[in-house]
Amino acid sequence: MSELLEIENLSVRFPLRKSGGAFGAKTYLTAVDSVNFTVKKGETLAIVGESGSGKTTAALAIARLAAGETTGEVRLEGKDILPLSQDDLKAMRRKVQVIFQDPYSSLNPRQRAEDIVREPLDSLTDKTSAEKDVIVDELFAAVGLRPEQKRLFPHQFSGGQRQRIGIARALSTRPEVIICDEPVSALDVAVQAQILNLLRRLQADFGLTYLFISHDLGVVQHMCDSVAVMYMGKIVEHADRISLFANPSHPYTAALLSAVPSVDARRREETKRILIPGDPPDPLNMPPGCRFASRCPVAEARCSQIEPELKPVADGQSVACLLREKG
């Protein structure tokens, strides 16, 4: 299968003003730092990481929605979308849609459900009103909402129903890629399962490619073909799902996996929790060398001097760690 989405050296930085007021020198907070990855058509790539690791910013930058200064290349079907002008963006937006994290704030409270789902059609396509009606009806059925709910307002829906509206909206232009920005983290567990199963079914029905942002490794294991682990704006490990969960190569990944609670008593005893002490480094004053060095349980002296690069260690598994480098 071909690479649908190729991300090369993607960086996002936010200008910050120092206390000197309007004339003070600018400093930058680099939220995403030279990130590389690819997503194959029809697959799901998960980006996991803790809060502030830059995973959402990276995803929004790919949808051209990040507020900061974005550099690098984001190629969709071989075409770089970052330099596109406002007019050319429309074609790209038809192909890349987003499902947002919080269904309580991602729906405009003054729009009816059908108008919310219709909005991308209105802004991005030239379809006639009748064609749009048909599409909206189909989408309501596809995401499991009843036709008579079309006229309701967002506050009249439950959280899971709201997220279904958000999914219908993302599907309306028949996109290639859907960026799911923690689509279930605001929902309770039973509803999470329904929404995840819906997303999987829609992926099969519509041939969708997902970029799935999450911090919940259980959800990731259920949903994804491959996983990229981010820490402080960098990808520290990129592997297919089975390799990553069976054999985490980066100490940070190992620590993350060990933190997943298990109901299985035997597994619980087998996997010793790896604690990572301390706080992440100050993003405004990033230390040299490996960003995880200060909290890493197996760090050596060279780790805080040399910055590791993402290098393949096995088939379908790359890691940015000096200790895993061969030779």
Partner 1 sequence: MSDQATQAPVKAQSPQAPVKAQSPLSEAWDMFKHNHAAMLGLVLLVIIILGAVFGPYLYPGEPFEMVWAPFTPPGTDGYLLGTDYLGRDLLAQIIHGSRVTLIIGLSAAIVTVVIGVTIGALAGFYRGMVEEALMRFTEFFQVLPTLLFSMVIVALFGASLPMITLAIGIVSWTAVARITRSEFLRIRELEYVMASRASGASNAKLMFKVILPNALPPIIVQSALMVGSAILFEAGLSFLGLTDPNVISWGQIIGSNRQYILESSFTVTIPGLAIFITVLAISLVGDGLNDALNPKLRKR
Q: Which residues bind partner 1 (CB under 8 A)?
A: 22, 60, 63, 65, 86, 89-90, 93-94, 97-98, 100-102, 105-110, 112, 119-120, 123-124, 144, 146, 148, 151-153, 155-158, 160-161, 166, 169, 188, 190-191, 194
Q: Distances in Å between the alpha carbon of 188 and those of 92, 158, 196?
A: 33, 11, 12
Smallest gap from Cβ 268 to partner 1, in A, equals 27
Smallest gap from Cβ 116 to partner 1, in A, equals 8
Burial class (CB in 10 A: 0-12, 13-18, 19+), 51: exposed
**Distance (Å, whole) CA 250 – CA 129:** 53
Q: Distances in Å between the alpha carbon of 86 and those of 25, 39, 83, 305?
A: 30, 25, 10, 43
Rg (CA), the chain: 21
Distance, C-alpha 303 to centroid of its chain: 28
- Closer residue to partner 1 in complex, CB, 162/250: 162
**Distance (Å, whole) CA 317 – CA 227:** 10
According to DSSP, the β-strands at 234-240 and 226-231 are: antiparallel
How many Cβ atoms are within 10 Å of 121's Cβ, its own excluded? 21
- Closer residue to partner 1 in complex, CB, 95/241: 95
Sign of CA dihedral 302, 241, 196, 132: positive
Smallest gap from Cβ 201 to partner 1, in A, equals 14
Which residue bears the tokens 């039973």? Answer: 190
Smallest gap from Cβ 294 to partner 1, in A, equals 32
- Closer residue to partner 1 in complex, CB, 108/247: 108
Q: Report phi then psi at 133, rounded to 5.
A: -60, -45
Smallest gap from Cβ 84 to partner 1, in A, equals 12
Smallest gap from Cβ 118 to partner 1, in A, equals 9
Q: Point out which residues pair with 318 in neighbouring strands.
A: 238, 312
Cβ-contact 203, 222 below 8 angstroms: no
**Distance (Å, whole) CA 249 – CA 223:** 21
- Closer residue to partner 1 in complex, CB, 178/235: 178
**Distance (Å, whole) CA 254 – CA 296:** 11
Q: Distances in Å between the alpha carbon of 33 and those of 28, 70, 230, 232, 287?
A: 12, 10, 10, 8, 14
- Closer residue to partner 1 in complex, CB, 107/202: 107
Smallest gap from Cβ 59 to partner 1, in A, equals 11
Smallest gap from Cβ 121 to partner 1, in A, equals 9
- Closer residue to partner 1 in complex, CB, 201/302: 201
- Closer residue to partner 1 in complex, CB, 157/292: 157
- Closer residue to partner 1 in complex, CB, 124/244: 124
